[in-house]
Amino acid sequence: MAFETTFVPLTVEELPALAAAKKDGGWRFVQLLAVNTEDGIDLIYSFMKDNLLENHEIKGLQKGTSVPSITDRFLEAFVFENETHDLFGVDVQGIAIDFGGNFYALAQKEPMTIISPEQKAAREKAKKVAAAKAAKEKAAKAAAANAAYVETHPDAAPAPGEHGYIAPPEDDDLETKLAGMDPEKVARVRAAIAAKAKKAAAEAGKEGE
């Protein structure tokens, strides 16, 4: 027998209504799976009916966020909710059979969220790379906008990076201005934008190294 599996986004606020709907619809609770990720704790609630397995995902749950228990609808979920609390530190409120943090005899608190020094170093490196990439993209966009503004305003202040440069107004509609310009001048403007963006990206890349 083949099963169809689906994954559906879910929020903490939507969880009680989801559990009620599944119970009333004759669905069976399968499991609650917790996963430690870069963005926080992911919770996956799985329900089955006929040949369909639905997985409802709460992504990036932050420490300290309270999650309502679904044991008022599915009593069997108490095992998974106690486990999620003890191993991952998720604050599950209103568990019908609550072990109060003693479901497991643990040597370390929230062991499934502990990372090794190597993992920590890898995460920090990844964050630095992401920050450098974001800075490069931001610099490229700023350079493009500035270049376009200067090209479309002949009497404007000096170009970006020069003394006295005035940033373009936020409400300046570049495309509207370009639409009313001579095609040859539009081509020059776009070429200038590309050149400025390339230069800014190269400079940002050197700074991120």
* Torsion angles phi and psi, residue 25, rounded to 5: -90, 0
Report the alpha-carbon distance of residue 14 to residue 32 in Å, rounded: 15
Q: What percent of the chain has pLDDT over 90?
A: 44
Residues 6 or more apart whose CB falls under 8 angstroms from that of 137 comprise: none
pLDDT category, 152, cuts 50, 70, 90? low
Q: Quick one: tokens of 68?
A: 């309502």
Residues 70-121 pLDDT 10s: 999 999 999 999 999 999 999 999 999 999 989 988 878 888 787 666 666 7
* Position with higher pLDDT, 170 vs 38: 38
pLDDT given at position 92? 97
Backbone angles phi, psi at 63, to 5 degrees: -60, 135
Give the tokens for residue 205.
Answer: 């890349």
pLDDT at 174: 64
- Residue 48: name the closest of 31, 68, 67, 62 by CA: 31
pLDDT classification of 171: cutoffs 50, 70, 90: very low
| Whole-angstrom distance, CA of residue 191 vs CA of residue 197 | 10
- CA torsion sign for 18, 19, 21, 27 is positive
Judged against a pLDDT cut of 80, whether residue 190 lies above it is answered with no
- DSSP E strands in 13-93: the ranges are 28-37, 40-49, 52-61, 66-68, 91-93
The pLDDT of residue 23? 98
Question: Given this model, what pLDDT does residue 73 score?
Answer: 98
Per-residue pLDDT at 11? 97
For residue 189, give every residue at least 6 positions away whose Cβ sits within 8 Å of its Cβ, in sequence order, or none. Answer: 147, 148, 151, 152, 178, 181
Q: Over pLDDT 70: what percentage of the chain?
A: 74
Residue whose tokens read 């609630």: 45
- What band does 166 get if pLDDT is binned at 50, 70 and 90? very low
Q: What is the pLDDT of residues 47-70, one digit of tens each?
A: 999 999 999 999 999 988 999 999
Name the residue with higher pLDDT: 104 or 146: 104
Lowest mean pLDDT among 17-26, 43-52, 190-199: 190-199
Looking at every residue in the chain, the average pLDDT score rounds to 82
Strand 28-37 with 4-9, pairing: unpaired
> What's the rounded mean pLDDT across residues 199-207?
68
* pTM greater than 0.95 (yes/no): no
CB 94 within 8 A of CB 104: no
